[in-house]
Structure 1
């Protein structure tokens, strides 16, 4: 019986010490005068009724705030530039890769358009490769994507542009830029065959 009572007293002391420790952890420090407040949460973004963000569910994620970059452009290839260390993919068009037919010509045509110009890039999306996608304009308001299509060195990519540049395509553009056309139509085996021939 004495053993049983001793055990109950020990358990009681342990429980009391545990509860005392818990309540002291919840109490503010003795010298603190600031009341505790709940962590603040950012206010939800509200948009006017009917306004939507540009978004392609398959390969892009929406950029919530409109961002605009301006500056001189370093041309990477026929549909990609860099402004202030941000790599930017021209909206809605596809130009040949550098190692594909007309790839270098497309790069130099875009370089000629951008040389000594301040480019304005209105950022709209991010593509599946993490590149920023933007509508890019020359100081006189010309759209770089449209200019590349008019020169026959890029083709409209309707999946992303909604056909915005299709009417600007030259008559032989899809034949000339057949690898870009094959990519748009999902015929990647054509690309792989071309690439394997280049490696030999």
Structure 2
């Protein structure tokens, strides 16, 4: 008598070499969680201004054609004289100085000498290195103050293109003693 026995085919039907995935366990490796630091905006890069000891730098407020204020201290530009605000050319000279400075940082080095009103004399330049006094004389907004500057700006004054301050009489503090 035969009992209904069937012989099953050999398991696995294909060789392991042909199908390794059947016998290889599948491992699920979670991807690592990488925490990123909070993104912040980079710091604003500002122009580096080199200031020597004794110099003052900052945003300047123009007072007149040859006077400016930095950090509550008022300086008169060394070696030049511009018309005062109540004389012809004074307002134009002030506008000329303001245009030369614009939004740039101004660096002033105090010099020997005190002007009328007790103002400190200072040689001032913009951060790019341009001397403000020389530029004012070159553009005709101010005149050389020979007693103070030793005629430093005299040759520049002779070649000025515009002569706003030409009719301006120099104050006594700029004239050599007679």
TM bracket (short chain): 0.5 to 0.7
Alpha-carbon RMSD across the aligned residues, in angstroms, is 2.3
Q: Which runs of 4+ in 1 moved over 2 A?
A: 170-186
For residue 122 of structure 1, report the CA deviation from its aligned partner: 0.6
Partner of residue 130, structure 2: 142
- Pair 131,182 (structure 1): closer, same or farther in 2 beyond 3 Å: closer
1:180 aligns with 169
Counterparts of 1:135 and 1:156, CA distance in 2 = 13
| Residue in 1 that maps onto 2:151 | 163
Structure with larger Rg: 2
Other-structure match for 2:8:
none
CA distance in 2, matches of 1:109, 1:174: 12
Q: 2:141 aligns with which of 153, 170, 186?
A: 153
Deviations 1:111-161 (A, max 9, x none): 111121100001112415321111101111110000000000100011000
In the TM superposition, residue 176 of structure 1 has moved relative to its aligned partner by: 4.5
TM-score of the two chains, using structure 1 as the length reference: 0.55
CA contact (8 A) 2:143 2:165 kept: no
1:103 equivalent in alignment to 2:90: yes
1:69 to 40, 44, 56: 56
1:174 and 1:115 mapped to 2: Cα distance?
22
In structure 1, what is the equivalent of residue 18 of structure 2?
none
The structure-2 alpha-carbon separation of the partners of 1:146 and 1:182, relative to structure 1 and needing over 3 Å to count, comes to same
Residue 177 (structure 1) shift:
3.3
Q: Contact 1:94 / 1:180 at 8 angstroms: preserved in 2?
A: no
Q: Runs of 5+ in structure 1 lacking a partner?
A: 1-65, 187-200
Confirm or deny: 8 A CA contact 2:65 2:96 kept in the other structure. yes
**In 2, distance between residues paired with 1:182 and 1:175?**
16
Question: Structure 2 unaligned runs (5+)?
Answer: 1-52
Contact 2:141 2:164 in 1 (8 A): no
TM-score with structure 2 length normalisation? 0.61
Look up the SS of the partner of 2:84 in the other structure: coil
